[in-house]
A = this chain, B = another copy of it.
Amino acid sequence: MSNEKISLEHGAGGKAMMNLIKDIFLEEIEKGKELGEVGLSDLDDGAALKIGNENIIFTTDSHTIQPIFFPGGDIGRLAVAGTVNDMAVMGGKPLAMSAAVVMSEGFPTESLGKVVRSMNGTADEAGVSLVTGDTKVMDKGSLDDIIVTTTGIGIAKKPISDHGLNPGDKIVVTGNIGNHETSIISEREGIDVESPIESDVAPIWKTIEAGLEVGGITAMKDPTRGGVSGVLNEIADKSNVGIVLFEDKFPVSKSVNGICEMLGIDPLNLTNEGIAIIGVEADKGNDVLEAIRNTKYGKNAEIIGEAVEEDNGKVMLKTAIGGRRLVRANVGAPTPRIC
């Protein structure tokens, strides 16, 4: 791909991004250097390293969202929650976090204060410590606003991958689908909705932990860029199983449904920032669901599907009226700078 240029699709969390990562990053970075159960070539939410007797979860994300303050959150909350959640879905209790901030010359220090305050509040809520950081400033014209890159260290009793789903396992979603991206779209486009939509951005370690304590969890992933459809396709593909979804079980709010119908988008393709997709052994499904529902960010949890032996690597949707259709992963998400 030597004559090509990077496009927005390459950062959208879909197939275009996966291909870029495989073609360039995995091509150039030497194999066989895994230090634990999960390494770079697994393309999971982060890495799992064995250090001494501990399973260390290690994960990083740059955050470029626009606008930086949005309904329900801001780039600071997003940056901390995003990395907490990437640790959480690998089974990692968040321990410590770094924050590297790149700002544009002229960025208001008051806004920086707000962002840092929000990072601290979110870290507190998740029980994680911000222990180190970096500050860079770029000249005006080279960057607008601010980019926040957070990296986390978590401790897992047992790392959870995104490829351990088995036929029969139930698929749990921990909360309403589609709030983050529709809130950003509404804000950017000035769409007037009856009840304003807020982003779901939240650190959901405690929700995940409640599920882990029940046990039987075989795969986890948070449906950020690429959405529920992308994440489920990845889990199905990596686990070599099919997944069947029950459309009438999807937790989607009325407002989000309204926006999706208005704009002709599928909620399954939308970026979320405060929910997880969890695969659970069938006999533990209801107990995990109950445990999750008893947490702050798990009240709307539902079992939305199950893994099957047929349709290997595919995600099928059973519609409410009895139809059946293939759920594909996006090539690229429709909204740039969504996280």
Collect the chain B residues with CB atoms within 8 Å of residue A59's CB: 98, 132
- A98: nearest chain-B partner, CB-CB: B60
Comparing A135-143, A210-218, A285-293, A305-313, the segment that makes contact with chain B is: A135-143
Q: Are B131 and A49 in contact (CB under 8 A)?
A: yes
Collect the chain B residues with CB atoms within 8 Å of residue A39's CB: 129, 131-132
Apart from A10-B137, A51-B153, what are 20 other A-B pairs with CB-CB below 8 Å? A5-B105, A6-B103, A7-B137, A11-B136, A21-B133, A24-B109, A24-B112, A35-B129, A47-B98, A51-B155, A58-B96, A60-B98, A60-B99, A60-B133, A139-B336, A139-B337, A142-B143, A142-B144, A142-B337, A143-B144
Q: Which of B60, B64, B66, B106 contacts A151 (CB 8 A)?
A: B60
Q: Are A132 and B46 in contact (CB under 8 A)?
A: yes
- A12: nearest chain-B partner, CB-CB: B137
A149 within 8 A of B: yes
Collect the chain B residues with CB atoms within 8 Å of residue A60's CB: 98-100, 132-134, 149, 151
List residues of A (6-38) whose CB comes within 8 Å of B's CBs. Answer: 6-12, 17, 20-21, 24-25, 27-30, 33-35
The interface of chain A, by Cβ under 8 A from chain B, is 1-12, 17, 20-21, 24-25, 27-30, 33-35, 39-40, 46-47, 49, 51-54, 56, 58-64, 66, 95-96, 98-110, 112-113, 116-117, 119-120, 123-124, 129-139, 141-144, 147, 149, 151, 153, 155, 336-337
Collect the chain B residues with CB atoms within 8 Å of residue A61's CB: 100, 134
Collect the chain B residues with CB atoms within 8 Å of residue A144's CB: 141-143
- A143: nearest chain-B partner, CB-CB: B143
Q: In the assembly, what is the distance between CA of A89 and CA of B331, in Å?
A: 43
Q: Are B105 and A62 in contact (CB under 8 A)?
A: no
Whole-angstrom distance between the Cβ of A62 and the nearest chain B Cβ: 4
Q: Which of B6, B35, B136 contacts A112 (CB 8 A)?
A: B6
Collect the chain B residues with CB atoms within 8 Å of residue A141's CB: 144
- A146: nearest chain-B partner, CB-CB: B6
Known A-B contacts A2-B109, A6-B107, A62-B147; A96 and B47 likewise in contact (beta carbons under 8 Å): yes
Q: Are B56 and A136 in contact (CB under 8 A)?
A: no
Q: What are 26 A-B contacts with C-beta separation under 8 Å?
A: A5-B108, A5-B109, A6-B103, A6-B106, A6-B108, A8-B105, A9-B137, A17-B135, A27-B113, A29-B119, A29-B123, A33-B130, A33-B131, A35-B96, A58-B153, A60-B149, A60-B151, A61-B100, A62-B136, A62-B149, A63-B136, A64-B102, A64-B138, A64-B142, A66-B142, A142-B337
Q: In the assembly, what is the distance between CA of A134 and CA of B129, in Å?
A: 22
Q: Which of B9, B98, B120, B134 contacts A28 (CB 8 A)?
A: B120
Q: Are A109 and B20 in contact (CB under 8 A)?
A: yes
Q: Are B10 and A113 in contact (CB under 8 A)?
A: no
